[in-house]
Structure 1
Amino acid sequence: MVYYKLEKVMKMREEDNVPLISVEELAHYLGLRRQTIYNWLHKKKISGMKIGKVWRFDRKEIEKWLDKCCIR
């Protein structure tokens, strides 16, 4: 289910040619709270990049992370 939802955002972003997604987008499509994403960042369970004051996630890195940690 998580993968299905993330697949939707990835396809949407591919169409927009946008390689980065926000904390809000990632949380929404994984069905999690934003705070969970921030906790994972702090615990280094997920990697992201901070651009100014805003965290962004590389779409391809998220796909790799899902391959490693989740069952498809």
Structure 2
Amino acid sequence: MPSRPNESEILTIKQVAAYLQVTERTIYRLAGGKEIPAFKVGGTWRFSRQDIDGWIKKQTVARPDSDTRTSSNNRGKK
């Protein structure tokens, strides 16, 4: 049994687009390119809220690496 009510919630393209604040077209592109966790039911895309939340965390973790590279490139420059 899920610890939170929304944890096992299944979302549609429209719901994921609203949740991520992007267009539906962006979600179609990400799902079709296997860049976001998704599955099809009867030919229509569906998304697990838990999987989307995990995907968001993975995307967020990757960001500091790029900031670190930028700051390390600037070290020693005067």
**TM-score, length-normalised on structure 1?**
0.68
How many percent identity over aligned positions? Answer: 29
The structure whose Rg is larger is 2
> Number of residue pairs matched?
58
Q: Equivalent residue for 2:49? A: 59
For 1:55 and 1:63, how far apart are their aligned partners in 2? 17
Q: Point out where structure 2 has 5 or more consecutive residues left out of the alignment.
A: 62-78
Q: CA RMSD in A?
A: 2.0
Structure 1 runs (4+) greater than 4 angstroms displaced: none
**TM-score, length-normalised on structure 2?**
0.64
Residue deviations 1:2-29, cap 9 Å, x none?
Answer: xxxxxxxxx8x62xx8620110000012
Residue deviations 1:30-68, cap 9 Å, x none?
Answer: 111101001111221102110002111011111110110
